[in-house]
Copies of this chain bind each other. A is one copy, B any other.
């Protein structure tokens, strides 16, 4: 994806690269789910995100780690334990998408009913 610079117009260059990650089917759901729980483990995520497959979850987790959005902490125990949390950047992302959520709720003439506390402010 090639993005241009224009001083008098909006450019999307900052999104270059990150859109491929953020736009993926489970990316934001994953970020949100972890954010809602502070910390989550692999099998928890597998259950909470109904429908995601192990392989897909694993690859998304890696990708989001690489983008410094989530943090992986492994404990040397038996059985093994791994906790996923949002990084500072990940928490900021969660905030940054709120306008987009608000936009999405206004569809045509009707408004999608949603109980999200953050959308009511």
- Chain A residues at the B interface, C-beta cutoff of 8 Å: 1-3, 5-15, 18-20, 22-26, 28-29, 32, 35-36, 50-51, 68, 89, 92-108, 112, 114-119
Contacts and interface: CB of A to CB of B under 8 A. Distances in A.
A119 B89 CA distance: 18
Copies in the complex: 2
A104 B114 CA distance: 27
Contacts of A119: 14
Contact of A115 (B5, B32, B96): B5
Contacts of A89: 103, 106, 108
B98 A99 contact: yes
A109 to B, nearest CB: 10
A100 B86 CA distance: 17
A32 B5 CA distance: 12
Contacts of A51: 2
